[in-house]
Structure 1
Amino acid sequence: MLVTKNAAELCVLLVNELYGQLPSRLMATLISKGRLTVPHLAHHTSLNHRQVRHGIVVLVQQSLVFTFTDQDSAVTYYEANVDGAYNLIRTGKILDMIDTKFGRPAKLLVHDVLLLGHAEIAEVVRRYKGERTSQKKPGDVDPCRNHVNGDGALSPFTDSEEPDPAGEAYNVLAQLIGLGFLESVSTMTYQSPQDFKSTVEQDVLKDFPNGVRGSKQASEYDTRLRERMREIRAERTSLKRELEMKIEFEPSAKRRKLLNGGASNGLTLTSGGYWLRDQEGHTVIRLNYEKCLVELRNQKLAEQVEDLIGDTTAHVYRAVLSALSRKISGCQADPSTMTDDELMGVRVKTGEVYEHLNPSVDVSAGIGTASEDEIDIRRAEKIRRYPPETKGSSLRATLEEGDELMASDDEDYDHSAETGNGSAVNGSRESKADVVNGDVSPRSYRLRWMRQHLLILAESKQGFVRHCGSDEWTVDFSPLLQHLRYLELDTMIEETFGRQGLRLTRILREKGKIDDKTLPTMALMRKPDVHVKMAEMEMAGFLDVQEVPRDNNRAANRTIFFWFFDEERTLKRTLDNTYKSMVRCLQRLEVERRKKRNVLSVTERKDVKGMEEEKLRGDVYNEYIQFLELEKKLLGQVSRLDDLVAIFRDF
């Protein structure tokens, strides 16, 4: 796999940070040399075979290498999994996301899976039981009692009830596997995408002994290839689909609690946990980074809505994204393995969104007030059946042929109640008669208010939601993420080249290639200023120029210079600079650790760890605190840079 020097150096540093020098040395060799066998690795690294095998075991256990076995010679080759190595930097974000969405027990289980790399379900449950037993002392409150859900709600356990750690673990694992955050491991899991596709192609070619000839056979071959890849994907996700059905048929109240971050009480096994314990205890599982990326993308989009629209609308948007995520396997799924629903576009009903909405959210808040005469219902209920076109930095969301305008598409939406009791559907709060015992209004009223937030999202300039059919909603991720990329690029350009540089970039992004004589007029700038700024941005790699000579002499005064913005090249260059910045942060952290190695060696002692303030002298403790502050700043900067990588590359 071809990667830049900075990306390769970053991956090696991450492996060294978590797993030590030996695995990182092998990773560096695999990245630079490509596929190698154990003898070749020993030759290039000057290590003996025993050391190489030990390091390879660690890399395989943590899914940091791909394996390929030649059927003729029975020799196994190893190839660096660069994406897997980079994902190590997101471990903290993933654990925080799991904690917020599913609660502390789920975070502990995922943490164990991450430490083990991959492990049997029964082994993960045994480790979880051991941790719970060791954490709890006689007379202590259970450590997970106050962390049942992501909002910190109290556990339903009474003083006389004690949770069953094994039952709790099986219930949470069933939920995580059913929703796709954990996946089962098979022999194909450690094949590179290229090897996997090649293996399937060779398998399908056996049905064509004379080769693929003609357009008809080529079409038949492509169809069989797609069907075979979907069959393999269905086999790999059979455990997920089985547990997904178990969760789906749970009682409605319990399912809504699970979907909103609640955990089972651990006293009794749910249907999914019971089935997982009896049927699949020896199944090997690992973390599914692709599904975790989907959830991290949801968090980023919800933060944008919260900043631009408001907190309540952001809660509704999180419910939309959560409902959609159950039908999405990854941010950049392979079309050849996607299901029919994913190919046609994932949609959700209003009722599905409501099922994922946290019951504690007051959906009547966050909406302005307007009279009925000021609202054009037909425009508000606009249905766009096709996604918006993207061009430059703006979205072309005009109505296409086949789009419709409808008055309403929600059966629970009653216009007769819009002005009843002095309330208006578009924004005023509900009357006191609609509030029961201080709680929010019943289902029909909550649906009505929630739907107003959905319409706000659909009418937003960014197009966070598209009203795509009768009682159906979807999210067009491609234009949304393009908009996020442009926001980040605009911020960089403005900080580096000022407002004039940003103005010129936006013009070129919107219009395409422009002559250097026309550009000053469009930008309302002096020609010398434009030339200086454009040359400066070209040197930095944000803009490019194409020379078109008018004759064979190629004289400057007889040449037309077309300036343009190359988005793909700019993103690649920006990504590489981001990798370089992350490498510098990690290198600086290692230097600071060497400077403070005397202090850190003392804090790592068992009799000092956790009691640094009491055990250390004042000057030593102050040095330790200063190092922690510096470490926090450097790792925080790495985390912010990773947000850029996610937006530019992964989302």
Structure 2
Amino acid sequence: MLVTKNVAELCVLLISELYGQLPSRIFADLLARGRSTIVQLAQHTSLNFRQVRHGIAVLIQLNLVFHNTDPDSGVIHYEANSYAAYNLTRTGKILDMVRNKYGNHANTLVHEVLVQGHSKISDLVKAFQNRHNEQHGGTNGISQNGTSHNGHSNINGNGATNGTSDLEMGDEDEDVDLEAQAYDNLAQLIAAGILEPVTRIAYQSPQDLRSTVEQEFLANYPTGIRGSKQTSEFERSVRDKLREIQGESTRLKKKLEIEFMSELSSKRRKLTNGAVSSAFAGEKARSALLGELDTVLRVNYDKCTVELRNLKLKWYAEDLIGSTTAQVYETLLAVLSKKIPRCQVDKSIEVEEDNNGPSGGPSVTTQEVFEQLSSTIDVSAGIGFPSDDTIDIRRAEKIRRYPPQLKGSTLREELEEGEEIVGSDDEDYDHSGEAAANVRHHGQNGSDDVKMRIDDGLPVGAQRLHQMRQHLLILADSKQGFVRHCGGRDFGEWTVDFEPLMQHLKFVELDTMIENRFGRHGLRLTRILREKGKIDDKTLPSLALMKKSDVHVKMAEMEMGGFLDVQEVPRDNNRAAARTIFFWFFDLDRTLQRIVDNTCKSMVRCLERLDVERRKKKNVLMTAERKDVRGMEEEKLRGYAYTEYVEFLDIEKKLLGQVMRLDDIVAVFRDF
């Protein structure tokens, strides 16, 4: 797996920070030299076979390497999994997300899996009970990743590190059945896709897996694959087999969804922190998982990335529209994400015709969103009401069956003339809803206490459903395209076009970055090039309404920064500057790759600075790491020693917080 130098350094530093020097040394050699055997690793790292085997075992336990056995020689080759190594930066974000959405008990279970790499269900239940007993037994001084702050520090979502645990159980009844709670939360996490069973393909790279499947089907073609018909049949067979293999990890998930999620939807029992009540499953969770006690679970980073993307979009909608509409949007994304296993489409098993019709993706109904909407959300807030004659009902209720199209590095916001008629929306418009739809958005959500005008004859539930639907229409009418109204006569169907939406968010983040670094003039030039394509240096000043000298200086500055490129086209063989046309252009993909690489370089520098600060405070940290001092630093460390310890914690918090903010940039530009 090819990675840049900065990404490789970041992955090695993360492993060294969390798990020590031995596995990081082996991982660095795998990144530098590619696939290797135990013998090759021992030669390249100058380690003995015992040390190499121990380091490889740690990396396998933590899902950080792939391995494949040669069918002829039986030799095992190991390959670095840089994707899993980079995900170590998101450990704290994942734990915070799980805590906020599924509760403290689920947080404890996911934390245990993250620490162990993977673990059996039976071991997780025992670890859950032991952790609960430790928390109520008064133990402290344990950080979120189970290590002290002066050892391998925790990398959490806000950069905070303190001397107490983040995994407090809360004020639950001491007489509760801990085993039942563990099974309930495990069932919920598996059904949601946060935890997944470890299958036989978990430690096989995608390339090796596809090669193995292809070799199986090539046996059916002894004379080779000839013609387009056999090629299409072969590709279809390989895709179907890969889809079947990947479906093995969802067997338990589908089973639990059928048994519990329907009951959960009907009862809709919620805790104040958004977690589902552990009573929703009762003994069903225990009975369903008792037959799966030997099943090994690991964290599904693909699904966690989907959940983190939902949070990012929710915050984006809150900044632009308001808190109430953002909460409704969060609920819609939560319902929709049940049908979305990963952010990036797996092109090896997915083809265009696999999409659900012209909508381009899964959709949800208004009723499904309403059933999951929290009762604590006041959907009547944040919506203004203009006069009836100022509302275009046909525009407000317009159904857009087709997603917006991407065009180069900009979005085509309006449909073409033919597409506006074919399959478009007016023929499905329901005029019976006009009286109830006379509510549109004016001003910022949550900025006032303006209430909607609702027919007093409607039941309370119908009023709440109608009010929630207005927030969905606000999202659908936004120029960002948060939601698309894609069909349905009764309650309506909604979908989210993630590709154009995330591209719009990329442009927002990119424009902010360019403006902060090169000013308004640099942003203006970039937008012109992004819209027009390649432009020669003589035409650009007139389009930008700037002096030629200012344009040349700014363009050269942005080229040195890696945001723009120039192509030289000589008019003759002499290649003289006066006889050469200079075409400036903006390459979005190359620019994003450079930004991601530079961001990883900044993260490396933050971690290196943290190591330097740790060396400066080595004596104090060694004292604070002692068992008789841990958790009682203020009492045991007196005077100047405690002051140095507090200063280090503050520096560590700032550096790790900066790493998390830089990871947000990588997530938007690469992973979401």
Same fold (TM over 0.5): yes
Q: 1:330 aligns with which of 342, 351, 354?
A: 342
Partner of 1:25: 25
Partner of 1:367: 383
Q: 1:540 to 1:364 in 2, by over 3 A?
A: same
Q: Following TM superposition, by how much is the alpha carbon of 1:414 offset from its aligned partner in structure 2, in angstroms?
A: 5.0
CA distance in 2, matches of 1:171, 1:586: 38
Q: Following TM superposition, by how much is the alpha carbon of 1:264 offset from its aligned partner in structure 2, in angstroms?
A: 3.2
Q: Following TM superposition, by how much is the alpha carbon of 1:247 offset from its aligned partner in structure 2, in angstroms?
A: 2.1
CA distance in 2, matches of 1:596, 1:341: 56
Partner of 2:163: none
Partner of 1:6: 6
424-433 or 343-352: bigger deviation = 424-433
Q: 2:451 aligns with which of 421, 424, 429?
A: 429
> TM-score, normalising length from structure 2?
0.88
Q: Following TM superposition, by how much is the alpha carbon of 1:260 offset from its aligned partner in structure 2, in angstroms?
A: 8.4
Q: 1:210 to 1:396 in 2, by over 3 A?
A: same
Secondary structure of the residue aligned to 1:249 is: helix
Q: How does 1:59-98 map to 2 (within 5 A)?
A: 59-98=59-98
Partner of 1:162: 175
Partner of 2:529: 508
Secondary structure of the residue aligned to 1:528 is: helix
Q: Following TM superposition, by how much is the alpha carbon of 1:134 offset from its aligned partner in structure 2, in angstroms?
A: 2.5
Q: Following TM superposition, by how much is the alpha carbon of 1:75 offset from its aligned partner in structure 2, in angstroms?
A: 1.1
Q: How does 1:188-227 map to 2 (within 5 A)?
A: 188-227=201-240
Partner of 2:484: 466
CA distance in 2, matches of 1:59, 1:364: 52
Q: Is the 8 A contact 2:570 2:576 kept in 1?
A: yes
Q: Is the 8 A contact 1:168 1:267 kept in 2?
A: no
CA distance in 1, matches of 2:33, 2:84: 18
Q: Is the 8 A contact 1:113 1:119 kept in 2?
A: yes
CA distance in 1, matches of 2:61, 2:170: 37
Partner of 2:249: 236
| CA deviation string 1:237-280 (max 9, x = no partner) | 1111111111233154435638983233469735344311x221
Letter in structure 2 aligned against 1:233: Q
13-22 or 538-547: bigger deviation = 538-547
Unaligned 5+ segments in structure 1 are 139-149
Question: 2:577 aligned with 1:556, yes or no?
Answer: yes
Q: Is the 8 A contact 1:167 1:267 kept in 2?
A: no
Partner of 1:588: 609
Q: 1:252 to 1:484 in 2, by over 3 A?
A: closer
Letter in structure 2 aligned against 1:589: L
Q: How does 1:103-502 map to 2 (within 5 A)?
A: 103-137=103-137, 162-250=175-263, 252-255=265-268, 257=270, 261-265=274-278, 269-276=282-289, 278-338=290-350, 340=354, 344-391=360-407, 392-398=409-415, 400=419, 401-406=421-426, 414-416=433-435, 429=451, 442-470=460-488, 471-502=492-523
Secondary structure of the residue aligned to 1:187 is: coil
Letter in structure 2 aligned against 1:469: G
Letter in structure 2 aligned against 1:372: D
52-61 or 482-491: bigger deviation = 482-491
Q: Is the 8 A contact 2:565 2:585 kept in 1?
A: yes
Q: Is the 8 A contact 2:398 2:429 kept in 1?
A: no
| CA deviation string 1:384-418 (max 9, x = no partner) | 1111123444442336242434498689x855456
283-292 or 257-266: bigger deviation = 257-266
| CA deviation string 1:86-113 (max 9, x = no partner) | 1111000000000010000000000001
249-258 or 226-235: bigger deviation = 249-258
Partner of 2:662: 641
Q: 1:251 to 1:4 in 2, by over 3 A?
A: closer
Q: Following TM superposition, by how much is the alpha carbon of 1:117 offset from its aligned partner in structure 2, in angstroms?
A: 0.5
Q: 1:407 to 1:633 in 2, by over 3 A?
A: farther
Q: 1:435 to 1:377 in 2, by over 3 A?
A: closer
CA distance in 2, matches of 1:364, 1:260: 22
Unaligned 5+ segments in structure 2 are 139-165, 443-449
CA distance in 2, matches of 1:389, 1:407: 22
| CA deviation string 1:123-157 (max 9, x = no partner) | 1111101111222249xxxxxxxxxxx9x9998x7
Letter in structure 2 aligned against 1:127: A
Q: Following TM superposition, by how much is the alpha carbon of 1:314 offset from its aligned partner in structure 2, in angstroms?
A: 0.2
Partner of 2:648: 627
Q: Is the 8 A contact 2:305 2:342 kept in 1?
A: yes
531-540 or 634-643: bigger deviation = 531-540
CA distance in 2, matches of 1:560, 1:137: 76
Root-mean-square deviation over aligned CA pairs: 2.6
CA distance in 2, matches of 1:385, 1:592: 56
CA distance in 1, matches of 2:435, 2:54: 72
Q: Is the 8 A contact 1:417 1:425 kept in 2?
A: no
